[in-house]
Amino acid sequence: MKSSLRTRSARALAAGALSAALLTAAAATAFAADPVEPNPVAPNPANSTSAQLPDHMAAKPNQPNLKPAVTAASITIRANRTDVKSGQSVTLTGQIKGLKAGDRLDLQRYDGRKWVTVKTVTVKRGSSYTYAVVTPKLTGMGKEKLRVVHAKTMSPTVTITVK
């Protein structure tokens, strides 16, 4: 009997703690929610005017227009081949989000100490925003690190092995 009472007490305590946690989370969410007025249920347009709506639901002409959320820019990169012979070039392609057609992209090469711009291309408009750039001939033996940059947005680094 003693163990069943202990079990029931533990279950009740766990249920109470869970209920308190859920209520606290709901209250915090409601408190942190944007104080924007709730969306009213769509009134029947045949017999409804803004004069019939309560004050908090009526259209307010002096409200500022809300701007759409700005998406972070991103650049992808893909090489048509990662192993080349000395003197050959590589075509790099990718897609851009958050930039517009005509924006300038810099192809950069890591020289062991810093990134150096070797070529500049512009974003083209197709089915999606894309770019394509052919590297200058790669003559150094070893690994070449390349990336595409626009302002503070950069693609991941792609490594090309030159033999």
126: left (phi over 0), alpha (psi -120 to 50) or beta: beta
Regions of the chain short of the pLDDT cut 50: 34, 48-50
Condensed to tens digits (0 to 9), the pLDDT of residues 9-52 reads: 777 767 777 666 666 666 656 555 545 555 555 555 555 444 55
Question: Contact, 124 vs 148, CB < 8 A?
Answer: no
Give the pLDDT of residue 116: 96
pTM > 0.85: yes or no:
no
112: left (phi over 0), alpha (psi -120 to 50) or beta: left
Give the pLDDT of residue 50: 47
Query: How many other C-beta atoms lie within 10 A of the C-beta of residue 9?
Result: 10
Question: Contact, 139 vs 109, CB < 8 A?
Answer: no
Give the pLDDT of residue 130: 83
